[in-house]
Amino acid sequence: MDESQMRTFRIAIVIPCYKVGERVLDVIRRIGDCCWRIYIVDDACPEHVGNLVEAQCTDTRVRVIRHDTNLGVGGAVITGYRQAINDDAQIIVKIDGDGQLDPALIEEFVAPLVSGQADYAKGNRFFDLEGLKGMPGIRAFGNAVLSFP
């Protein structure tokens, strides 16, 4: 499936943000044209990432949502999903603001959804062990313990 076919769908990206700093700007820059809207959820971030994005990002797809109190990643994701649904998004993709997921993979995740082959897709950071190199050792260990029975 090519990018022009994907652009016929309203694909929204939700990025919960807490202490991600300027890394989120690089993540936003790397999101392809197939995506219709990008929701940055500033989860009461002490770095005020929402202000940073508004001041330095010129991507017109970006919408900043702010929490007055920190709700954690789950709460931030729910907020982003709700806004995307209210805005009539057809497909919603959650990625992290720290850049651990390469935004170039978004098209691979949504291709089975756009083609009707799947209703839900989830990435697995253990599928390609090469991708674990950038993850801190303790986090890789914790993710492995929590991911495998």
pLDDT in tens, 131-144: 556 556 665 565 55
Task: Give residue for tokens 């697995």.
Answer: 124
Tokens of 10: 């309203």
**What's the pLDDT at 99?**
86
**What's the pLDDT at 149?**
57
Which domains, from first to last, does the chain contain? 3-118 (3.90.550.10)
Give how far Cα 84 sits from Cα of 10, 44, 54, 132, 141, Å.
10, 20, 19, 30, 33
Spatial contact of 106 and 94, defined as CB atoms under 8 Å apart: no
Spatial contact of 83 and 64, defined as CB atoms under 8 Å apart: no
pTM of the predicted model as reported, rounded to 2 decimal places: 0.84
Count H helices and E strands in the chain, helices first. Answer: 6, 4
DSSP character at residue 93: E
